[in-house]
A and B are shown apart, each in its own frame.
Chain A
Amino acid sequence: MLERLAGWPTWNWRSPFEELERMRREMDRYFEELTERTLRAPIAGVFPLTNITEDNDNFYVRAELPGVKPDELEISVTGDSLTITGERKISPENENVRYHRREREAGQFSRVITLPGQIDADKVQASASNGILTVILPKAEAAKPKQIAVKAS
């Protein structure tokens, strides 16, 4: 009987703490998600927003530039930085049109992107399709990862 009484509170007390612990973990997870969301993309605040990726040989810079003709873009490379300059034009409509929505914007832009490594400026390629600009920047030999074979003695 006594043993039962002694055992009973521990069983009863553990569960609310467990519940709290579970809630704490859940809250942590929410906060983690929240901060991850806001911190994932450090926005430079300069148009155009770009995504940079890399593989063993190249860096890839992509930007969404709908309505910008490829020949209206100016791309230059020096050392480890890439400059994208251009203008987005929206042809003016007839005087007598009535607007329902006007959300698209026209204007000039210029952005410098510093890449995480040296690049081979002579072999940079740029292409635009469906409103997405892709710049392929081959890494300089020094910046490429080298495979080192481990010799077995």
Chain B
Amino acid sequence: MANTATAAGPAQGFTYTRPSGLTGGLLGLSTSGGITSAGPAAHPRFFSGLLTQAAPAAAAMLALADVARTRYFQPRPTGFRDPVVTCNGDRLRMESFSACCGVYARLDVLQPALDGEVHERGTTNVDVNGPLREALARVGGADPLHLAVGADELAVTTLDGAVVEKKVPLPDRWLRGFAEVQVITAGFDPRAETAGPDAVRFLRGLPGGRSGVRGTLWAVPAGRSLRVTSRPVPGAVCLPGPDRLRTMLPLLRFARALRVYGPAVHPGSGPVSSVWELELPGMRYVLSLSPEPSRGFSGEGAVLDALATDEAAGDADLLGALLSFEPRVEPDLLAERSGIGLARVKAALTQLGTSGRVGFDTAEAAFFHRELPYDPSRVSALNPRLRSAHALADGGAVRLTGEGVAVVRSNEQDRHVRIDGDQASCTCQWWIDHRGGRGPCKHVLAARLVQRADRGEGRR
């Protein structure tokens, strides 16, 4: 099964009917293949109308494009990657990862900033190019800006030919990142909120250079603002690699508030992810940071336990059919419509998240529906740790030696796995290095697979 996968991901082709551009006050974002509520579409058309907050929107799109072309860890130049755009009806969301996969950026353009017509709901890629960047930088003041996401079919066919074809190697880790980031952030709570001027002062005061910060910094609420501290205290959020927030700096002139989300931490906590949300007029610019600059979201392993089971797969299929690009997925409503109860709906949403079919919006503490314009099955098929675990389990390398104890033979060495409910531990190097902070190791996964099979729960 999975062992047919090759090491290098195949290139993903994008075809746009023309380059995105800004001419005569019209910002035309070209779409490539995507999925809409009516099904797959070659060049979906989502929105046309007025962008009422032109300057912040243009600046935020530039920031998003900057993230997409930056490698924060071991920097070197990289090309553009086109953001994923989802039209949820009342809002447009643009999502992108940094080239190192350690920063996830999302721009939510909300209803107050949009005045026009929604043609279709769905998800696609939009073209971003050099001239577009230049044009976006020229937007300012109170200039009105018309926005079209996807072009009118008629207009397209009458245009003579400037088709844009892009072929970019689509790294599987980028794809996996989409699945990981919302499973990780779905458990986050709001930790701090500061008003505009204090947010400006805080963000401008952060150390800028990459060399200046080794080790992990934390931020805790102090008065109306935040302060940087060296260790996790209750209520703190992790601030790993503060220079990764630098795309927020050009947006500060529009900032109304800064909100920060993270998991609960306690003294002695290791580095964790955090979400930094800048509220702009009519929109939100959100950056999620991986626990360390050297760690990409793709390798965090938060989806592995869910991926390794088929428990909620049937429910996930059922829910998937009910979703229709809602801006907020309401579990209660879904439970009612599907008739499977709230607990199973929540499990199924996590399962949907593992293939990137829902994203999580920390500001609203809610999932939103999207369909990545990539093949979602590759998330599980190409997950190296899961693949190795299946290989170990299938190869008979796992011996269950007692209740919750297993010996896994791997690389000609015995690894001792202890499993106690949700907790697990192993004696392998990966476990020693991360102690579960990056998800289970392949030995624990394999032991769980065998344990489950043993109990007759069945597995793929």
Q: Bound pair: A and B?
A: no
